[in-house]
Amino acid sequence: MTCMADLKGKKVMVTGGAGFIGYHLCHKLSQLTGDLTIYDNLSSGKLENVKDNPKAKFVEGDILDTKKLCSQPKADLIYHLAAQVVVGYSMENPMVDFETNAKGTLCVLEKARKDDAKVVFASSAAVYGNPTVFPTPEEYGFHPFSCYGLSKVVGEEYCQMYREQYGLDIVITRFANVYGLRCHGVIHDFLDKIAKDPNKLVIIGTGMQTRDFVHVSDVMNALVTVGSEDRFNGQVYNLGIGKTTSIIELAKLILTILHLQDKTVVTTTGASWQGDVTKIWFDNSKARKELNWTPKVTLEESIKEVIAARKIVK
Ligand SMILES: NC(=O)c1ccc[n+]([C@@H]2O[C@H](COP(=O)([O-])OP(=O)(O)OC[C@H]3O[C@@H](n4cnc5c(N)ncnc54)[C@H](O)[C@@H]3O)[C@@H](O)[C@H]2O)c1
């Protein structure tokens, strides 16, 4: 259960707070602490996400700029979300991906070491690569299939090293596919394509790839819980809904909601981008049990929410 009082008076920093998940996290944290800082270089984040969280202080800065990062006022808790998040980009630009996600995490850990701050690290399903165990539990271990996945593994390993060697309080959260208002990714891609031409929808890949879609509000509840309470320190949690949905099923669901199922012709390209994994399906029983976490929002409800917000009416 979330112990909200535990964040009262805490100085909280969110790296990547101008991004999709960061926006929602800062929105939630603004209600729980009066001392919230967003640290973001706006590389993929948006100023409107910052402006829509007016209670948070905004510092435009790069996590790789350790001088600037470490000169920020002392933090008690750092949610480290800033990252290069695109798998295909990581395969084409492994060095940039490594710099931001691996070295960048190290820079954030240095800030945390200086402040003796707790760190909640945003990791990813990508650390599992193409698992052979489903649903995949936390202890399945690291088998990354993309440079992005590998850079997240390195980030996690540094977190664990800082915990063991410097006694830093660390919680690692591995996200499945997070979606909701302001998100990027496949749901918005499909809606963009359909808005352009409702007669056709081209899916990149076979369409048989499956994903574990978890709503951002459910992820927020878990993030606040692990940040608030010390008993979760040192733990790793899968945050996914615990179901898997193929991309073709997702496309059909969207078309049905839009009443376009008989109009839109769905095709697939066959080939996907390098590093794309086949199936993500999380075992979330550890988070359910230890965090008393129950993800509630269904994919259908949320797609309707996104469609309504985009004012797509058919
Ligand atoms: N969205 C998902 O489905 C998903 C799944 C698994 C893991 N994650 C992880 O969750 C975190 C947030 O993802 P998101 O979907 O909100 O992505 P996002 O791209 O919307 O947010 C990332 C933020 O980090 C900022 N950033 C990037 N490089 C930076 C740097 N060098 N210095 C400072 N800021 C920098 C960007 O400007 C952006 O605001 C990431 O760590 C990502 O790897 C997301």
Quick check: 36 and 55 in contact, CB under 8 A? yes
Catalytic residues: 148
CA of 190 to the centre of ligand 1 (A): 21
Q: What is the helix (H) or strand (E) element at residue 200, kind and residue range? A: strand 200-203
State residue 312's pLDDT score: 55
Identity of the amino acid at 303: I
User: What's the CATH architecture for 4-178+214-239?
Assistant: 3-Layer(aba) Sandwich (3.40)
Please check whether the domain covering 181-211+243-280+297-309 is classified as CATH 3.90.25.10: yes
Q: Locate tokens 């100085």: which residue?
A: 11
Report d(CA 258, CA 82) in Å as an integer.
Answer: 34
CA of 247 to the centre of ligand 1 (A): 22
Q: Kindly state the greatest CA–CA separation across the chain.
A: 60
Quick check: 202 and 273 in contact, CB under 8 A? no
| Domain positions in the chain | 4-178+214-239, 181-211+243-280+297-309
Per-residue confidence of the chain (314 residues) as pLDDT tens digits? Answer: 344 448 999 999 999 999 999 999 999 999 999 999 999 999 999 999 999 999 999 999 999 999 999 999 999 999 999 999 999 999 999 999 999 999 999 999 999 999 999 999 999 999 999 999 999 999 999 999 999 999 999 999 999 999 999 999 999 999 999 999 999 889 999 999 999 999 999 999 999 999 999 999 999 999 999 999 999 999 999 999 999 999 999 999 999 999 999 999 999 999 888 999 999 999 999 999 999 999 999 999 989 999 998 865 44
Report d(CA 21, CA 183) in Å as an integer.
Answer: 8
Among candidate residues 6, 87, 16, 114, the one with its CA nearest the CA of residue 274: 87
Peptide bond into 198 cis (omega under 30): no
Tens-place pLDDT, residues 114-124 = 999 999 999 99
Tens-place pLDDT, residues 248-265 = 999 999 999 999 999 999
**Nearest ligand 1 atom to alpha carbon 80:** 41
Report d(CA 32, CA 26) in Å as an integer.
Answer: 10
Among candidate residues 299, 48, 22, the one with its CA nearest the CA of residue 177: 299
CA of 261 to the centre of ligand 1 (A): 33
CA of 260 to the centre of ligand 1 (A): 32
Cα angle 117, 123, 126 (rounded to 5 degrees) comes to 165
State residue 93's pLDDT score: 98
Q: Which of 25, 43, 69, 120 to mutate to test the pocket of ligand 1 (most atoms within 8 A of CB)?
A: 43
The angle, 0 to 180 degrees and rounded to 10, between the axes of the packed helices 104-115 and 147-166 is 20
Quick check: 162 and 175 in contact, CB under 8 A? no
Q: Which of 21, 99, 107, 302 to mutate to test the pocket of ligand 1 (most atoms within 8 A of CB)?
A: 21
Report d(CA 149, CA 142) in Å as an integer.
Answer: 9
Instruction: Using alpha carbons, list the distances in angstroms from residue 148 to 39, 83, 167, 232.
Output: 21, 10, 27, 26
Q: Which of 50, 63, 81, 219 to mutate to test the pocket of ligand 1 (most atoms within 8 A of CB)?
A: 81
Among candidate residues 224, 260, 242, 259, the one with its CA nearest the CA of residue 299: 242
Dihedral over alpha carbons 281, 283, 284, 288 (to 10 degrees):
150
DSSP string over 39-64: EE--SS--HHHHHT-TTSEEEE--TT
Q: Which residues line ligand 1 (CB under 6 A)?
A: 15-16, 18-22, 40-45, 62-64, 81-85, 100, 104, 122, 124, 175, 177-178
CA of 131 to the centre of ligand 1 (A): 23
